[in-house]
């Protein structure tokens, strides 16, 4: 691939660039398609199909700043790249873009997503096995029935806050806060940490000019958690990572906590929002659930096929020259896994409208040695949370026209902005609160203080702050 001239112009949803601005065009140098900007925001699936028609199962694309990459569109090609680690490395230091001047590693919003970190995602071979073993142990310590009890507690708490109103907005009031509350709890953090982490995580995936600052905030917060757990370990993921025989350093623990938090939150929040949208907008989908033709876990699998929560997965880097999908890949080239595009490839789905809810062969959690180790926890959060919501509010329905729903898209994911619904008003349910997992002790003179985050209003309840930050995130 020829290096195109660098163009640092990006287009944010809701902002219209001036006439003549390169962001108006969907292509960069040599006619290569940009994987960001208006076309990618408004109709990412349509963009993938245009790329497939023009280039086949592997297409050249440009990321923010006109950074070059290959987008893998074919189902079989995605599996090939994901399972051949000797040919397609997960170590981004293999990428030639770091030395070609194609990217500014100090300022590019892509760095939080494609930069090297001391975690299992950026490792291959024995090093990957060492780090992955610790992560798997941290996740597997929880019996899913025990995790479901915590999900149930948080779900009821969230529903109790809006059930008397007779209407709510499900993305900001339910689909986004529930996964973060559960994940921060399992990691060993306080419930009060969730609001600011939701805001930072959303900003990271939007690849904005503040993404680097949001990434720094997440890392600083987790650094404080590691320091706290060194003093007082508990039955949580952070403590298991530190005690594992793999001997992870504090920095490695910190970055694996970041990985679990960000990847688990983004995918689960998007998955829940997509399932809830289908439930209130598609009578066939809702009827299949109500009539027993499709269970809720099966409904989740159907949505994972049709609308994967992570549409594009960064990244792989070629360790040598090779051919893939009719394209000549050069050593050091960056490849992106097109999970959403692969799931609708006609090689495996002749008719995308055919129900495939019994089949887990989708690409939504990737494949191979780097397949998501926390996917079962993500599934149980979505299954349990949505089941409780529909059980308590069985008459829930869309409160606006379906045409009024909007999405916010980035290179990596497409996120429903809001899902306003209505239902008959109900009184909150008083439930026994189960004992929480051990949490870090409060800061003292022997421990670092918590990271600073600018406060724009007097201190409020954590749920109030969570809703406020979510609204700020969606409007930015």
Please report which confidence band the pLDDT of residue 291 belongs to, taking 50, 70 and 90 as the band edges. confident
pLDDT at 448 over 90: no
Distance of CA 355 to the CA centre of its chain: 24
Identify which has the larger pLDDT, 247 or 448: 247
Distance separating alpha carbons of residues 213 and 193, to the nearest angstrom = 17
Average pLDDT over residues 72-86: 96
Average pLDDT over residues 93-119: 91
Residue 384, SS3?
helix
CA angle, residues 375, 468, 383, in degrees to nearest 5:
25
* pLDDT reported for residue 446: 37
Identify which has the larger pLDDT, 367 or 203: 367
Distance separating alpha carbons of residues 282 and 274, to the nearest angstrom = 11
* pLDDT reported for residue 457: 36
pLDDT, the chain, mean:
84
* pLDDT reported for residue 290: 84
* pLDDT reported for residue 84: 94
The upper half-sphere exposure of residue 151, i.e. CA atoms within 13 Å in the direction of its Cβ, equals 24
CA distances from 363 to 125, 276, 303, 341, 450 (A): 22, 21, 12, 9, 38
Residue 323, SS3?
strand
* pLDDT reported for residue 22: 36
* pLDDT reported for residue 14: 37
Phi, psi values for residue 421, rounded to 5°: -135, 165
- What the block records as the tokens of 143 is 């019996």
User: pTM score, two decimals?
Assistant: 0.82
Identify which has the larger pLDDT, 10 or 263: 263
* pLDDT reported for residue 1: 39
Average pLDDT over residues 307-324: 94
* pLDDT reported for residue 464: 58
Distance separating alpha carbons of residues 368 and 85, to the nearest angstrom = 9
Distance separating alpha carbons of residues 234 and 436, to the nearest angstrom = 11
* pLDDT reported for residue 468: 57
């Amino acid at each position: 691939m020829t290096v195109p001239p660098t163009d640092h112009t990006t287009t944010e949803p809701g902002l219209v660039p001036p006439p003549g601005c390169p962001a108006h065009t969907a292509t960069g140098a040599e006619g290569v398609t940009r994987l960001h900007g208006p076309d990618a925001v408004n109709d990412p699936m349509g963009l993938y199909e245009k790329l497939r028609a023009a280039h086949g199962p592997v297409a050249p694309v440009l990321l923010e700043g006109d950074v070059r990459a290959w987008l893998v569109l074919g189902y079989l090609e995605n599996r090939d790249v994901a399972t051949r680690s000797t040919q397609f490395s997960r170590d981004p230091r293999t990428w030639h873009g770091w030395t070609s001047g194609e990217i500014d590693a100090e300022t590019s919003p892509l760095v939080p997503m494609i930069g090297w970190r001391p975690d299992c995602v950026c490792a291959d071979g024995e090093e990957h096995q060492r780090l992955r073993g610790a992560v798997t142990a941290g996740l597997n310590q929880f019996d899913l029935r025990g995790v479901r009890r915590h999900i149930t507690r948080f779900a009821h708490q969230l529903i109790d806050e809006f059930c008397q109103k007779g209407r709510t907005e499900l993305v900001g009031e339910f689909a986004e806060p529930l996964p973060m509350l559960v994940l921060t709890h399992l990691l060993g953090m306080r419930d009060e940490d969730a609001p600011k982490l939701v805001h930072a995580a959303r900003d990271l995936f939007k690849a904005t000019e503040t993404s680097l600052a949001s990434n720094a905030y997440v890392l600083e917060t987790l650094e404080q958690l590691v320091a706290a757990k060194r003093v007082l370990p508990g039955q949580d993921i952070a403590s298991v990572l530190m005690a594992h025989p793999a001997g992870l350093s504090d920095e490695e623990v910190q970055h694996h906590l970041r990985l679990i938090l960000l990847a688990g939150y983004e995918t689960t929040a998007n998955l829940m929002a997509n399932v809830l949208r289908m439930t209130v907008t598609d009578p066939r989908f809702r009827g299949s659930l109500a009539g027993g033709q499709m269970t809720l876990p099966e409904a989740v699998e159907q949505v994972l096929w049709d609308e994967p929560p992570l549409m594009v997965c960064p990244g792989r880097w070629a360790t040598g020259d090779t051919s893939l999908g009719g394209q000549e890949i050069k050593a050091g080239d960056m490849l992106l896994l097109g999970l959403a595009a692969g799931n609708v490839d006609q090689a495996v789905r002749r008719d995308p409208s055919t129900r495939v809810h019994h089949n887990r062969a989708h690409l939504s959690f990737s494949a191979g040695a780097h397949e998501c180790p926390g996917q079962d926890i993500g599934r149980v959060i979505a299954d349990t949370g949505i089941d409780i919501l529909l059980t308590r509010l069985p008459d829930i329905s869309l409160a606006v026209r379906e045409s009024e729903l909007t999405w916010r898209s980035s290179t990596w994911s497409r996120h429903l902005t809001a899902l306003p619904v209505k239902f008959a008003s109900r009184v909150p349910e008083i439930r026994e609160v189960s004992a929480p997992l051990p949490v870090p002790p409060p800061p003292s003179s022997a421990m670092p203080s918590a990271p600073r985050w600018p406060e724009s209003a007097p201190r409020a309840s954590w749920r109030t702050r969570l809703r406020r930050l979510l609204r700020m995130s969606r409007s930015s």
